[in-house]
Structure 1
Amino acid sequence: MRILIIGGSVFVGRAITEEALRRGHEVTTFNRGRSGVDLPGAEAVRGDREVPEDLDRLVEGRTWDAVVDVIGRVPRLVGASVRRLNGRASTYTFISSISALSDFPARPCDESSPRYACAPDAGPEDGDYGTLKAGCERAVEEGFEGGALIIQPGLILGPHEDVGRLPWWLDRISRGGRVLAPGDPDRAMQVIDVRDLAAFTLDRTEAGGADRFLAGGVPANTTYGGLLAECRAVTGSDAEFVWVEDRFLLDRQVEPWTEFPVWAPADPDFAGVWLTSSAKALAAGLTCRPVAETVRDTWAWLRDVPAAERSFRSHGIDPEKEAVILAEWE
């Protein structure tokens, strides 16, 4: 197939590009060239989807069998891309997020769960991340004159992660010592490896047609304690986990999900965070590797990234704050 990947050089987009090339597809990537590197074998077209002239240059003289849009976050801009690509591909696959569902993370979700109310022509000022993703989905579904395929991933981990959730934990645990571990170590989680998400995305893109899939991975495929234990094992660390109760941390204004990546406290606002249904995707062929393999391969990649170049965005607690909380807990 001839596939256009909007994005294609960072984390999810990189994994989809790699998998498409491995399968022998002819791949074009379209991005600004600022965040990642071009993968050998793919045609790289430089441009910004916000610039109409760049979209014109992208499509001039080209057609594809499918488009995979990995980076769309603003409905108005996604809609512009959709309109420009109408008639130039038969399938438009949009990588959305489970955050587009208004019940998430407070309640269990599946493909029938309601989405946020967001217009397909909304601008960046018209909502938060999840709300705008819902609008992007509508921009694809209502504007593309072909098969609109929506993929809504849950928590994505794996090599080349640019968000810094698993990399932060691996880096922190590798330094050893007493490590503050938040919440309940036995709380079941649900994660998906970026490479498994890429394979499923391409399977469904190759199949064509319009559909929607939640892709959160296998339910209860790890626990928080199990995930951190895998980090300790692959790093060879002497880290000693000190498990601190949710309420103790919340009372000290510790931010869930970010200061301790993927920490979701036992709180009504997070009651459904690990209870999303991947039943439809699993029935359609989604396969998921063991979480231990994801942790191992992420560490193997991270070890080659110089410490000075490791960027975890806003994730991870300040070491001094961690030390103060540990002292208070003990």
Structure 2
Amino acid sequence: MATVDTPIKPLRILILGGTGFIGPHQVEYALSRGHTVTLFNRGVTNPKLFPNVEKLIGDRNAPGGYKALEGRTWDVVIDNPVQVPRWVREAGAVLAPNVGKYVFVSTLSTYKNRGKIGISEADVDLLNTPSAPDATEQSATYGERKVRGEMDAKTTFGENKTLIVRPGLIVGPGDLTDRFSYWPIRVEQGGEMLAAGTPDDPVAFIDQRDLTEFIVRLCEADATGTYNAVGPKHGLTMSEMLYGCKAVTTSDTRFTWVDADFLLERKLRPYADLPVWMPPRGNSAGWARMDISKAVAAGLTFRPLAETARDTLTYFHQQTPERQAQLKAGLPPEKEQQVLAEWRAKQSGKSGLE
């Protein structure tokens, strides 16, 4: 399998998307490895990026949206932004005869039940029921649509030409969802901070740079099949994540660990109000403990948490004051303080009964 230092044959790579969250680093990494890159998108998001890279314009939601791709050939097409299954089939109608490999960026949300610890790519019985072929974002869940997309990719391009990568939560600089960013941002602010669950609760995510580099190297190795892609390699706990974030700041943050049941009773949502974190029990016992041995054997690597946290903070501080004031995930300050006060009151009451 190709590694960072493996000599490689230059590829002609078409990236569908390429200018959003995970695309830019993917493009930069592919170029640094000597590949030729073409981008296909609407030309709306960050259109000034990569002035020296060929750009083809098309709207996947419009009639004739793939016209710019007709009659062209590439060694690899990487499909980053698929939201509805028909995009796979429609792209395939134009590209399948003329490309060597199709890469479908899927998701670990394809697994419906994560009660099992160590779910692997072989656990096909744990996958969501595939959505209808014509599913929309309103008619089926994200996981159901991605399962259908995986099926359509294999049917349209052929299993021997299809590579499927299932990332977990994608984080790092460029993320606009704040689903990881909330934690280093909040840690940097200092003071008493609500920490969800227990210090030993597992968490998992993947830096977008590790993900995109892995995808490019899989293409270089002519890999096919399916890969779970999340990390880090040896697992991570909530306390390790939070103290790792604190280590790249100068904050005086003090963590107060608040019981999962207490949080759930107050209708605080794991993965939203408390991003990254999911109580490790029931159908979520394996949420952050997936089997990634296949991907690691194929060359998936992970940069240090400190690098991800530091670069996430740097990116965040480059945004406008208005954007920095409106986090899209995590607890608003007033809600956090309210819950902490209620937790202290409960703990004080317990002490009084002892």
Q: Normalising by the residue count of structure 1, what TM-score does the alignment of the two structures yield?
A: 0.92
Please say if 1:218 is aligned against 2:232.
yes
1:210-258: per-residue Cα shift (whole Å, max 9, x none)?
Answer: 3111111234432211211222222321222111111110011101110
Partner Cα distance (1:149, 1:238) in 2: 45
1:161-208: per-residue Cα shift (whole Å, max 9, x none)?
Answer: 122122222222222221111111122333322111111101111222
Please say if 1:74 is aligned against 2:84.
yes
Contact kept, 8 Å, 2:56 with 2:69, in 1: the verdict is no
1:37/1:169 CA distance change after superposition, 3 Å: farther
SS of 2:231's equivalent in the other structure is: coil
SS of 1:45's equivalent in the other structure is: strand
Query: Structure 2: which amino acid aligns with 1:116?
Result: N
Identity over aligned residues, as a percent? 37
Partner Cα distance (1:223, 1:119) in 2: 34
Aligned to 1:325: 339
Q: Which has the larger displacement, 92-101 or 228-237?
A: 228-237
Aligned to 2:150: 137
What's the CA shift for 1:82? 1.6
1:1-20 equivalence runs, <5 A: 1-20=11-30
1:209/1:290 CA distance change after superposition, 3 Å: closer
1:105/1:157 CA distance change after superposition, 3 Å: farther
SS of 1:87's equivalent in the other structure is: helix
1:246/1:294 CA distance change after superposition, 3 Å: same
- Aligned CA-pair RMSD: 2.1
Aligned to 1:273: 287
SS of 2:119's equivalent in the other structure is: coil
Contact kept, 8 Å, 1:122 with 1:132, in 2: the verdict is no
Q: Which has the larger displacement, 309-318 or 164-173?
A: 309-318
Greater CA radius of gyration, 1 or 2? 2
Query: Structure 1: which amino acid aligns with 2:161?
Result: G
Aligned to 2:350: none
Query: Structure 2: which amino acid aligns with 1:4?
Result: L
Partner Cα distance (1:176, 1:249) in 2: 21
For structure 2, the residue ranges without an aligned partner over 5 or more in a row are: 1-10, 345-354
1:65/1:120 CA distance change after superposition, 3 Å: farther
What's the CA shift for 1:4? 0.8
1:208/1:119 CA distance change after superposition, 3 Å: farther
Partner Cα distance (1:221, 1:304) in 2: 30
Please say if 1:199 is aligned against 2:213.
yes
What's the CA shift for 1:119? 5.0
Partner Cα distance (1:231, 1:285) in 2: 26
What's the CA shift for 1:312? 6.8
1:102/1:312 CA distance change after superposition, 3 Å: farther
Query: Structure 2: which amino acid aligns with 1:99?
Result: S
Q: How many residues align?
A: 329
1:70-119: per-residue Cα shift (whole Å, max 9, x none)?
Answer: 00021122211122211221100010001112233665310111222215
